[in-house]
Structure 1
Amino acid sequence: MTASRPEIRTFLCRSDNIGVVLYDPVQEACAAIDVPEAAPVLKVLDETGWRLTDILVTHRHPDHVEGIPEVKRRTGARVTAPLKAGAAVPEVDVTVSEGDTVRVGSLSAEVWETPGHCSDHVTYWFREAGIVFAGDTLFTLGCGRALEGPPEALWTSLSRFLALPAATAVYSGHDYVLANAKFALAADPQNEALAARAAEAERARAEGRFLIPTTIGTERATNPFLRAGEPALARAVDRVDADPVAVFTALRAWKNTF
C-alpha cells in the first residue's frame, strides 16, 4: 500500500519556536510536534478543521511543552513523550525510547534517541513520508547547543541525519536561520551553495517566511556542523589533522561565542 502524503502547517510560536501540525488525510489523524504555546496550535486547528489526535514531544524543555495542558484539554489529544524526560513533560499518555514506533493515523515514525542538546531528546523519522522532526538537535544551517553531555554526544546524534535520503524534509524546533547563516559563512566562506542559501534566508525573512523545512541534501552541502568531516571546516578551526568529533567540538564552541 502506498503511504499517504501528509499535509503540514508550520507557524511561529513564542518568539522563535516553530510550531508544526501534521495531518494524515487517509485516517484524518493529526499531530502537533511539541506545543510551545497553545494559541497558535489551536488557531491552525480552527482554520483547517483538523481534529488533533496526537502530540509528539521531542524533549522536555519548557519552550516545547508549555502549551500541552491547554491543547490536550481542548482536544483530548494523546501525548507521546520521551521516556527519559520523566515527569518534566505534562499530561503524558505514552512514553517512547530508541527503536519504538509511533503512528499518526496511517503514518508511521521511527523514534531515535538523539541526546546532546538534552539527555532525553528524541527525533521522529517518518520514513515513508520522507520527513524527520529534529526538534532542537538539527536546525537549518545549524544545530542545538550541547547543554547536557559532551559535544561528541551531539555529534553522534547529528551524524545519524547524514545517512538519511537527500530529499528528506527536516523540521526543526526554532527559526534561527539568519543567525546560523552568519556563523556558517564565517566558518565556511568559500562555500557557494552556502552563500546562495544565506541570501535565500534573507529573502525569506523579508517576505515573512522561514526556511523550515529544509532538506538533508541541502544541509549536507551548507550546514557547517554536518560538514565537520570536510577539510574546509577543519581549517576554519585550526584542526587540520583532527577527526570530525574534534572539529565539531571546536565549531560548536566557536558558535557559542559568536
Structure 2
Amino acid sequence: MGEDTVAITETSSRGGMLAFRFVSGNSTELPVMYDPNTATTASVNPGGNRFVVNGAWVIVYPAERIVLLERKRPGVPVYQIEKFLSNFGRGRLGMAGLTMSLNPIPSRSFEEEVSRFTRIREASITLKRPNHSWTKSAEAMLGELGESNAGAVQLQLNADRGQSLSKTRGVVNEVIELARRPINALKNAVIKGRTPEYEGERSVSLQKHVVKGTARIDPHSDAIDQLAPLLEVASQMVEEIGDLEWRND
C-alpha cells in the first residue's frame, strides 16, 4: 500500500470469534534509536530484508457483524485495515468491486450530547455504504442513493443566521435515528452549536462517542498472550452493543 507493507502475522479462533494481528511498516525508513546516556540518536539497519512494524489485533464476531479494533499508538491505522480487507477480498477471494468500510458503532453518549444543543448552527455528515445497498434511513435522508451508484456521501447543513437546524425532523433527526443502530451508514457526524453549560460554540463528533473499552496488557509479552485481556474486554463490548438494541424497540 504505497510505501507501507500491511500483513497478518497471527490468527486465533475461539468459539464464534476470530482474531487477526495486523502489522504495518515501511521498508524504506530505518528505525532511529535514542541513547539517554549520551543524548544521541543513531539509525539501525535490521538487515536481512527486515524492517520494523507496528501491530494491532482485530477481533471479529461474524454472527453479529461486529469488528473490534485494538487502538494504540502507533498501532495500525483503520484505513490500512479497510484497504487490506478490500484488496484481499478482490484479489484472493474473487469478490470483484468489494469495498470494506469499518464504520464506528455509536455509543449512547452521542445522542445524549446532541440532545443538549439549544441551537444547532451546522451539521456535517459522512455516510459510507454499509452493504451492497443503502439503508432505508440513509435513503430517506438523501433520496435514492442506490440509483446514484454512490459509495460515500458527504453532506453539510448550515442554519440561517440566528436560526437553528431542527433536531426533531430533517437530517439531524435522521442522523440520530441512524446512530441508534449498531450497524449503520454513518462514518462520522459533527454537530456544532450552543448548549446551556458551555460558553460560546461547541462541537460534538461521532468519532469521539463510539463504543470502546480499555484493557491492560503487558507490553513485554508476546502477541498471543496480549490477546487474552483484549478478548475479555471485547466480549464485554459486544454485550454492551447488544444492550444498545433497546433504542430500536
With the shorter chain as reference, the TM-score category is under 0.3
Q: Greater helix share, 1 or 2?
A: 1
Greater strand share, 1 or 2?
Answer: 2
Which of the two has higher C-alpha Rg?
Answer: 2
Q: Which has the higher contact order (CA 8 A, sep 6+)?
A: 2
